[in-house]
Structure 1
């Protein structure tokens, strides 16, 4: 009969090596799952940001309101600060019409349960019978609230046209 003899150190070493391989494999799976989850979150935020911009264009007050926290703040390029109520008032006015626009240079940065969504917009429309053109960069701060992401803060900065020299 064949008898196998293992040195106790070799059994321990094999157990430690096996446990290490299992641990590293599990870490890789968790990292992959986390990466995929982060990509899914970013895709969801991009979609939600797009829906918010569509709500702005169509003056969909209920959709705009649902996307904002109760303590939402907008910092305007003038330095003035609007709260949720004053921000929504602007869209309730019949004097405002916004033409469709697209967001350029969109960037989404995720920080756990908060995210920064920024981009560039060239907006045109009519307010009080006068045509307007706004070219600005914006940043929205989103926070996770349960299963939803809400905008708690926005800031806009005008992009100055450079004169030809």
Structure 2
């Protein structure tokens, strides 16, 4: 069932993921994602986890701020998703970047933890 009442554990996961991204620490980001995590962006389409971690690890991509206001969520067995509106700032290849977008994160329970397996970004108009 889709709900606008975001379960606390999903809100915590989203906060942890945001904090990992603004840390620009590859190990922290990796700890929030599955091995097969995919980031779908309007600019590049599907980008595998290995590529994102490589670009962050090299310093080519940094995040200074990242916020997300979750508005919808669902939990079905070992799968969950959260959709909301997010903003972030940072740099790419030394140039400032900022985004205002709708974000959907899909999580999968792996053992006793939940990891993000898909992040889909859509620009807010």
TM range (shorter): 0.7 to 0.9
**Counterpart Cα distance in 2 of 1:63 and 1:53:** 10
| Higher percent of residues as strand | 2
Structure 1 residues 43-77: Cα deviation after superposition (integer angstroms, max 9, x where no partner): 12211211111110111211211111111111111
Q: Which residue of 2 aligns with 1:43?
A: 8
Give yes or no for the alignment of 1:114 onto 2:75: no
Range with greater deviation from structure 2 (47-56 or 122-131): 122-131
Q: Which residue, out of 68, 84, 100, partners 2:33?
A: 68
Would the aligned equivalents of 1:77 and 1:157 in 2 still touch at CA under 8 Å?
A: yes
Q: Are residues 43 and 132 of structure 1, via their aligned partners in 2, closer, same or farther at CA, if it must alter by over 3 Å?
A: same
Would the aligned equivalents of 1:124 and 1:131 in 2 still touch at CA under 8 Å?
A: yes
- Please report how far the alpha carbon of residue 138 of structure 1 lies from its aligned counterpart in structure 2 after TM superposition: 0.8
| Paired residue total | 121
Would the aligned equivalents of 1:46 and 1:108 in 2 still touch at CA under 8 Å?
A: no
Structure 1's unaligned 5+ residue stretches are 1-38, 161-165
Q: Which residue of 1 aligns with 2:94?
A: 129
Q: Are residues 96 and 72 of structure 1, via their aligned partners in 2, closer, same or farther at CA, if it must alter by over 3 Å?
A: closer
Would the aligned equivalents of 2:11 and 2:70 in 1 still touch at CA under 8 Å?
A: no
Structure 2's unaligned 5+ residue stretches are none
| Higher percent of residues as helix | 1
**Counterpart Cα distance in 2 of 1:145 and 1:154:** 17
Task: Compute the RMSD of aligned alpha carbons.
Answer: 2.0
Structure 1 residues 125-147: Cα deviation after superposition (integer angstroms, max 9, x where no partner): 22223222211111111011111
TM-score relative to the length of structure 2: 0.84
Matches within 5 A, 1:1-165: 42-78=7-43, 80-160=45-125
